[in-house]
Chain A
Amino acid sequence: MTRLGSGGLIDRSQQLRFTFDGKSYAGHAGDTLASALVANDVKLVGRSFKYHRPRGILTAGAEEPNALVELGTGTRREPNTRATTVELFDGLVASSQNRWPTLALDLLSLNQLLSPFFVGGFYYKTFMWPASFWEKVYEPLIRRAAGLGRASGLPDPDAYEKATAFCDVLVIGSGPAGLMAARTAARAGARVILCEDDFRLGGRLLAERVEVEGRPGAEFARSVEDELAAMPEVRIFRRTQVFGTYDGGTYGALERVADHLLAPPPGVPRQRLWHIVARRCVNAMGAVERPIAFADNDRPGVMLAAAVRTYVNRFAALPARRAVVFTTTDDGWRTAQDLIAAGAEVSAVVDPRREVPDSIMAPLARSGARLLRAAKVTRAIGGSSGVKAVEVAQGGSLLRIEADGLAVSGGWNPQVGLTTHKGSRARWSPELSTFVPGSLPEGMRVAGAVSGDYGLSACLRAGHDAGSAAAQDCGFAAASPDVPRAEDEPIAVAPLWHVTGGRGKSFVDQQNDVTVKDVEIAWREGFRAVEHLKRYTTLGMATDQGKTSNVVGHAIMAELTGRPMEDVGTTVTRPPHLPVAIGAFAGRHRGRHFKPTRYVSGHDWALRHGATMVDAGQWLRPQWFSAPGETDWLTSVIREVKTTRLAVGVCDVSTLGKIDIKGKDAGVFLDRVYINRFSTLPVGKARYGIMLREDGFVMDDGTTARLGPMHYVMSTTTANAGKVMQHLEFYHQVVWPELDIAMVSVTEHWAQYAVAGPRSREVIQAIYGTAADVSNGSFPYLACREIMLGEIPTRLFRLSFSGEMAFEIAIPARYGESLLGELLREAVGRGGCAYGTEALGVMRVEKGHVAGNELNGQTVVRDLGLGRMASSEKDYVGRIMAGRPALVASDRPTLVGVQPVDSKQRLRAGAHVLALGAATTAENDVGYVTSVVYSPTVGSWIGLALVKGGTAQVGTRMRAYDPVRNGDIEVNLVSPIFVDPKGERLHG
């Protein structure tokens, strides 16, 4: 154990048990998985991506490249979790990844011997030839050997959800700057949301031995938190990472609601994805420390200097008992002080600078540490269990200094990610030797280390000012300035990117195993732009997106090319700033709830009557009704068709779109959107209409009835109801705003049922009794009327999709189920039945009616044999474009019927039509089969097809070729109307 006896922000009274690679350990409440591993002296936590090199913990935050673990087991196993941000809980199970068979003995580390093949661009060089190896050999090989963790491969048992929050001021980060921004804005009266990725507020205040207003930093953070928590207009989101900046002041954030628990409590989602809409934002995300590249700088035990302070001060765990500090910043010297204060030994502080202020060195004067200036660490010596010694070059001589840990400080990289998501570029600051935010997204301010203000006092001041300004922008007067008193610690940095001369690999990007040499190879081979460097070497890819490595890599490229950093620049980052589970983006919309489901009034009724339901857009419709004893769908469908054609059938057609169109220009409007005329339609009559898109292709069809001089009701197909409404609104509001009409969807108000078959009139008459006379004379084909059924208004139409005599009756939806029951009772009494969409489809194909398969956006009215409907005496949407030569060409595929020559053979929709004997080539393709059904009336499978020459080809024999399902049969091209071609039945 390296746990200190006192101090830190852990609760020693709460012991938490956890396992890592099957071995049991204990930590405390307040630990992260990483800090608990440090406290248990576990140094080796993973194997690297390509070379399977042993790796330890490099950082104490979300930028961690190495300490990625698989968390949880079974369905809850999650790969690539950063141990440095995982909040420890009792029962946590973690394991290392990318090793085989065990972490300590990883046979795949033999990859290192192959390292000449793994250099920059190796994917493009090594796995080129032969091409037949790409999928069978190379890909499986790469996937097995190189990689991160394993997905569980099982359905995720947890729930995710999405939510939206609004505020005046969003504050990102709760370090000194963020806390001050939130407090100042909140005190001014603004609605504030404060997001903190950590489970505890305070940022670096928790990790440094600093004082604010004479109190320890963590205490100050707690006092601000308490104040904020008591303010009703402040919301504090802990465990919430803001991962993206979007347009219009919208920010994406992920709240890890229950990741710190063994499993989410009932009703609680595991994670919640927030859309935060903020009028102003104060970005106080801080900065992350960057390493220095030197030989074997990836040994377990090499850790960033600020991370060492975090483990020592916040978690009371010693990453090293005897440390060397390698720092090119003033800041790194504090690590040595903190280690010594915690009781560890510091063998040496190595600083490449010639001059280091006395004030910084003085506190270490009597510590026994060797203070080496103008010196560099050239190599970390040791094995897979960690650092054993450090090789240091000073003035031409090499020293070996014994140590079990090496703290490295190469300066700070502000977390500019969120400032660049909308396209602006980070700017190189020569003074700070780092990239700082460039132009900011509208509404965003930056405060504190994210903008290069590293000192504590500067952070507090900047946070205060940003919070105050943001609140003022939202109309809240800031209270009198109140900036707490604190010191600005020394922060000078003299950049050092890498150290040459050591024997061994010098890593720039530890997550992707990219070395200094790889950057050199990229340079030599011409991949010098930073974006090319990234793609060629993988520098800055994967889960950490180069948070610790990009700037070092780009600086090395700048050295190689001899260009200043301003010119070299840095890569563009896009959301998400940190990895987000796909499940969080899906939220609750998965499985059946991927999209909303629409239920007809008769849904439960249908289920009670043996219906199998089918998705029709968002709707669920009865597909067929299984009678007792029926076990296959075709039997049921055949019965339904036969029954309807012989007696009567009842079908729910409520899902068809219904639009009320009223006003004095309603007729004119319909004339313009339909190819045929409706202004002359008599009241009490319905007419079939077709509407086109402006490009001349068919958009939708349906029947429109005239219920009054200024009142039409249009029906649309189920699939296109929304699209048609939008189309009509477009022409009304944008194109012809002068027309005086009113349109509203009434799809939901009316349930509607088709009653079809020779005995349908009897059923309808029985329902209406004396309320209406529906005899042929009084209510002929295409009649419509509003009829009161007692107190209930109904609409009756004489329409037919099946080719039989048929009616459609509409009733307010609450009575739908009840009416269905009555209709079925009357129908059954006459030998009838209910039928579903399958039988509906069979009967419409038998009758040659087109539907969605034919109205597929690629057909014009002539293709469908409906050209004669188009009026030549008026303009309508799509008329001009439908006249284009290619759309009136005689060889366009047009509608025909198809029937297998051998009536036992199965025809398939999608089959291509070819001349007999023609080779099966695309050039010989003359059309395809759009719809296929088994027709009990004809006694075989029949279909509709779009075939070149169409009607002229009726009577010829062709081939229906279906290579997907091994179908290749001879078919006769016939008239598309298989049943009652003269239309006697529907007028009956």
Chain B
Amino acid sequence: MSVSASVDLKLDWDIQEDPVKLVPFEERITKGELVEPDDWMPHNYRVGMLRMAEHHANSEIVGALPEGEWITRAPTLRRKLALIAKVQDEVGHGQMLYRVSQDLGKPRDQMLRDLITGKTKYHNVFNYPAPTWADVVMIQWLVDGAAIMNQATLADGSYGPYVRTMKRINMEEAFHFKSGEDMVLTMMSGTPKQKQMAQEAFDRWWAPCLMFFGPLDKESVKTSPFMRWRIKTATNDDLRQRFVDRFAPAALDLGLKIHITVKDQDGMVTEKREDTEIRRNEKTGYWHFSQPDWNEFHRVVKGNGPLNKKRVALRRFSYEQGQWVRRAIVGGSDLPPLC
């Protein structure tokens, strides 16, 4: 199927796909073959893949914002250069993923429109504030660490363009993570003030990172064949456990404490106590941990997180101020004016 703006982009589970096509398609996926843009694919595969790639692209360009705010204030020349390059990478990931999504049938301008009008979403984790430089450090260490865990499994998916893009993105993310590791190590070997900044930022980001992988498996909807089609290849709980197994001991080694926190509506910690569940199960090798506040998760997903409105407003501002440039350089949009 060629690229067309007329593709109906809604999931429809009443569709009866032609078994003559569906059966060999599923066999190919079982064998680990990759699906390419011109291959036949079930309608819901196309839409599911598009939704995932588009959500991912949105997350990259919204994810550029919390760190982007700190470029002007980066404390050394080297960190400043590295941060510009890092945020640039995120924008680059967004660009690649929008191209993957465009091939699946949705024009880029429509995707940017849907993002700024709230029709489509981006990753929840970017609705939290980054009030200090140490938050930049924690984003590059913890959030990028979580992203790598998630994306490593996505690189094992079935849609060729997305898988190849994911491999490239993961190489760059590994670099960001190294930079994050270097920064967190520097701060935790620094002055008491730097250590305190790092701890406070860690307290802000630990729970959002646990939520990063999505709701508990027992609560997440499992009606779709996305696992069978290898659009998704690992469950939320598996990924969350892998994250804790990697980062809980690393944090403790650095001298950070893992806290259970209560936050105000701006995402700032108002109460905290040590998470006494944190320990390694010697039999299984897995780490125990306390679940984050899932009510907060649902609140933020519904658009009521600390910075949902601000993030979308800034993307909208960027979209609007650049309209005249896009009109002049890439031609006008077919879409009606924004209201």
The answer to whether A and B assemble together is: no
Please report B residues at the A interface, Cβ cutoff 8 Å: none
Please report A residues at the B interface, Cβ cutoff 8 Å: none
